[in-house]
Amino acid sequence: MEERYEAELTRSAAVLDGVDRALRRLSDGTYGSCEACGAPILDADLEADPVRRMCEQHLSLG
């Protein structure tokens, strides 16, 4: 049970970190741009994953 609790805490912390990063990007005007190359991230991709940080090309690179 403790392992499951720790795994859930880790997952929750990662989600909150993603939200914090997205809010910072929104604040500094870079939300919706790939962090690797600056290319726009498609609106449909952001709708599916609002904390997405990479364009399709860089996301597939790993």
pLDDT in tens, 18-45: 999 999 999 999 999 999 999 999 999 9
Contacts of 34 (CB under 8 A, 6+ apart): 40, 41, 53, 54, 55, 57, 58
Cα–Cα dist 41/22, whole Å: 13
The answer to whether 56 and 42 have CB atoms below 8 angstroms apart is yes
Does pLDDT of 62 surpass 80? no
Q: Provide the CATH number for the domain formed by 2-61 in this structure.
A: 1.20.120.910
Dihedral sign computed on CA atoms, order 43, 48, 51, 52: negative
Q: Which amino acid appears at position 45 of this protein?
A: D
Q: So what's the pLDDT on residue 61?
A: 81
